[in-house]
Amino acid sequence: MTADTELLAITSGELTARINPFGAELWSLTDALGREYMTDADPAFWTGHAPLLFPIVGGLNAGRYRLDGREYALPKHGFARHSRFEVVDTGESHARLRLRDSDETRGAYPFAFELEMGFRLDRATLHMAATVRNPGAAPLPFSIGFHPAFAWPLPGGAAKADHVIAFAEPEPQPIRRIDAESGLLLPEPVPTPVEGHHLALDASLFEADAMIWDGLNSRSLTFGTPGGRQLAIAFPDTPMLGIWQKPGAPYLCIEPWQGHADPAGFAGDFRDKPGVVLLEPGAARGFRMDVTVLSAD
């Protein structure tokens, strides 16, 4: 499979989004002046833009998971980001794309599923919605996550050091980290760098890879400079969050998750992995992420 070069473009007049059907991935978000709010995907750091993580988030113990006594292999973050989605519906300000199970996916993930990704622009807000449906006869176990990389610094002239994340609620709990060698979740939490609601951003925070909240109080936050350009980000359906960059890169990934990497040493059934949800036959479950560009005060 190869990435598409033709991007879908949708606009509200205030914002324009460009979406790659390969992975149903948001590649660009610009305002009416052409200012870019997403990563430049500099290959010196990372070529991703906003991959959709499904049916796992993060890595597996030795790259494999266990299900009913059998073992299966999946790459980090699953296969959706490397799959071509069908374009179901498009209009001036919206697009909807769908991925269904296939012979290829069932070899690694033996379930029937439908994964739909919707994008809609309403003035200065981009609404993104991932919907998982279970057309099969057995409960569907999965995790899912968003992985957008926003420009850091945001357009507007403020320095990187002036950017902060402000959570909707205080976040005093410890955070989790990833083992650099295995890519798995370390067992011991570490003290949070968040002070009250606020996280002062610095590249040194990411020398130990992503910061992970596996029990987040907030379901929204702002990213940017107080009194200046900011993004308001809402994620009402996901209880976990990763924040990541390659140290020094001109982007910041703000990643609402339902699920995370295997805990170090995890060897249980996939259904028992922390963060995995079970979707009953015939049911659907949605996961929303809204991004609003806030003008400077």
- Domain residues for 166? 8-294
Q: How far apart (Å, rounded) are the C-alpha atoms in residues 268 and 285? A: 25
Q: How confident is the model at residue 211 (pLDDT cuts 50, 70, 90)?
A: very high
In this prediction, residues 95-111 reach a mean pLDDT of 98
The residues facing 289 across adjacent strands are 128
Which has more confidence, 297 or 196?
196
How many CB atoms neighbour CB 191 within 10 A? 9
234 assigned to some structural domain:
yes
Residue 202 maps to a domain: yes
How much is the average pLDDT of 60-79? 97
Instruction: Kindly state whether residue 1 falls inside one of the protein's structural domains.
Output: no
Give residue 279's pLDDT: 98
Give percent above pLDDT 90 in the chain. Answer: 96
pLDDT tens, residue by residue, 221-271: 999 999 999 999 999 999 999 999 999 999 999 999 999 999 999 999 999
Instruction: From residue 283, give the alpha-carbon distance in Å to each of 71, 124, 135, 289.
Output: 26, 32, 8, 21
3-state secondary structure of 105: helix
**Within a domain: 138:** yes
CA distance 179 to 166: 27
- 269 SS3 class: strand
Q: Which pLDDT score, from 0 to 100, does residue 1 have?
A: 35
Residue 3: inside a domain, yes or no?
no
Q: How far apart are CA 45 and CA 59, in angstroms?
A: 20
pLDDT cut 70: percent of the chain above it: 98
Q: What is the pLDDT of residue 295?
A: 82
Model confidence at 157: pLDDT above 90: no
Looking at residue 2, its pLDDT comes to 42
- In this prediction, residue 5 carries a pLDDT of 62
CATH number at residue 119: 2.70.98.10
Over range 141-147, report the average pLDDT: 98
Indicate whether 283 belongs to any domain: yes
Whether 277 is covered by a domain: the verdict is: yes
What's phi and psi for 204, nearest 5 deg?
Answer: -65, -20
Looking at the structure of the chain, the number of domains it has is 1
User: How confident is residue 58, by pLDDT bands cut at 50, 70 and 90?
Assistant: very high
Give domain status of residue 284, yes or no.
yes
What pLDDT does 288 receive?
98
CA distance 238 to 228: 27
Mean pLDDT computed over 269-286: 98
Please give the model's pTM, rounded to 2 decimal places: 0.96
Better-predicted residue by pLDDT, 3 or 175: 175
